Amino acid sequence: MTLNRMDMSIVRISLQAITTLVSLLVVIFSPVLSAEQYDPIPHSTVAMADGAGIIKATLSCPTSRYAHAVLGDDIEAGCLALQVEDGDVLVHQLPDNQVFEDLVPHIADFDGNGINDVAVVRSDNAYGAALALYTISENNEVEELGSTPPIGRANRWLAPVGVADFNGDDQLDIAYVQTPHIGGILKIWTFIDGTLEQIAQMRGFSNHSIRSTRVSTSKIADHNNDGIMDIALPDQRRQKTVWVTLSPKVSPELHVIDELAYDEAYFE
Ligand SMILES: [Ca+2]
Ligand SMILES: [Ca+2]
Ligand SMILES: [Ca+2]
């Protein structure tokens, strides 16, 4: 069968129509982020980082569905918007029984594979807070890298302190104070052979006041100049500032290296 000139035109027009239709469908079904998914919730900090993987993390999708309200207002985040280094923004949306109860996501390469991950506090209606770590999978999807067990009851919270190599093994660790309002326990977690594990804890600290938007009242520095990062925290009654270290040069456990009279300005 041979096609005359008119037939060829029809074929060309049909092909054009198909191409246009496909382009239209791509536009219609491409995920377009809403302002709610992209804009940071009140009082929160947008975390930024260099490198591969996650370079920007935003707590978004404001919601008052979790009745706790210890971070300045009753608004928490239902989503975490993660920008990867090629510019894509991926949104991880929590189910209705959970929120991100946090104001400052922490971006770091927690498992040491060269790709940035993010740590954020995730609270559950029934089980309270846990620290959740996410990364970007090879399929360009948000994937949970690991999480601490939830504290176990609703409205039990934890306040992240920060990220550093606290035990000097060249792997980044993350520290938080569990239940800072009712008897705070400093806990340090790290990835060991691909699993998030707690490596140290010590009681008696408070790095957050109820209703404050400051997370956290703490400092990370090499206070005793031994090459290992140390942590300064207010004690539970906010009378002392306590410097602790996990330096293996001194002890395999957390121990106090200095105590000062508490002064909030020390943490500015
Ligand atoms: Ca990583
Ligand atoms: Ca470490
Ligand atoms: Ca030190």
1-54 pLDDT, tens digit per residue, is 455 655 555 556 565 666 555 554 444 455 678 999 999 999 999 999 999 999
Distance, CA 139 to ligand 3 centroid (Å)? 40
Which ligand lies nearest to the CA atom of residue 145 in the structure? 1
- Reading phi first (left if > 0) and then psi (alpha if -120 to 50, else beta), residue 74 is in alpha
Q: In the prediction, which pLDDT does 32 show?
A: 76
Distance 183 CA to ligand 3 centre (A): 25
- Model confidence, pTM: 0.88
156 in Cβ contact with 98 (< 8 Å)? no
Specify the pLDDT at position 8.
56
The three-state secondary structure class of 214 is coil
What one-character DSSP code corresponds to residue 134? E
Residue 15 Cα distances to 7, 10, 127, angstroms: 12, 9, 56
Helix (H, G, I), strand (E, B), or coil: what is residue 267? helix
If you measure from the C-alpha of residue 68 to the centroid of ligand 1, how many angstroms do you get, rounded to a whole number?
31
Residue 204 structure tokens: 């008696």
Closest CA to 55 of 118, 137, 132, 131: 118
* CA–CA distance, 81 with 100 (Å, rounded to integer): 12
* 167 CA from centroid of ligand 3 (Å): 9
If you measure from the C-alpha of residue 177 to the centroid of ligand 2, how many angstroms do you get, rounded to a whole number? 17
Closest CA to 197 of 167, 173, 179: 173
Nearest ligand, CA of residue 225? 3
Buried b / exposed e across 158-188, counting CB within 10 Å, b at 16+?
bbbbbbbebbbeeebbbbbbbbbbeebebbb
3-class SS string, 6-46 = HHHHHHHHHHHHHHHHHHHHHHHHCCCCCHHHHCCCCCCCC
Q: In the prediction, which pLDDT does 160 show?
A: 98
pLDDT at 15: 59
- The pLDDT value recorded for residue 10 is 56
Is the distance from CB of 200 to CB of 187 less than 8 angstroms? Answer: yes
Compute the CA torsion angle 92, 96, 102, 105 (nearest 10 deg): -10
User: Closest-lying ligand to the alpha carbon of 51?
Assistant: 1
pLDDT tens for the chain, residues 1 to 268: 455 655 555 556 565 666 555 554 444 455 678 999 999 999 999 999 999 999 999 999 999 999 999 999 999 999 999 999 999 999 999 999 999 999 999 999 999 999 999 999 999 999 999 999 999 999 999 999 999 999 999 999 999 999 999 999 999 999 999 999 999 999 999 999 999 999 999 999 999 999 999 999 999 999 999 999 999 999 999 999 999 999 877 678 999 999 999 999 999 9
CA 173 – CA 194 distance, rounded (Å): 13
| Residues 55 and 107 sit within 8 Å (Cβ to Cβ) | yes
Closest CA to 57 of 182, 181, 189, 163: 163
Question: How many whole angstroms separate alpha carbon 266 and alpha carbon 260?
Answer: 10
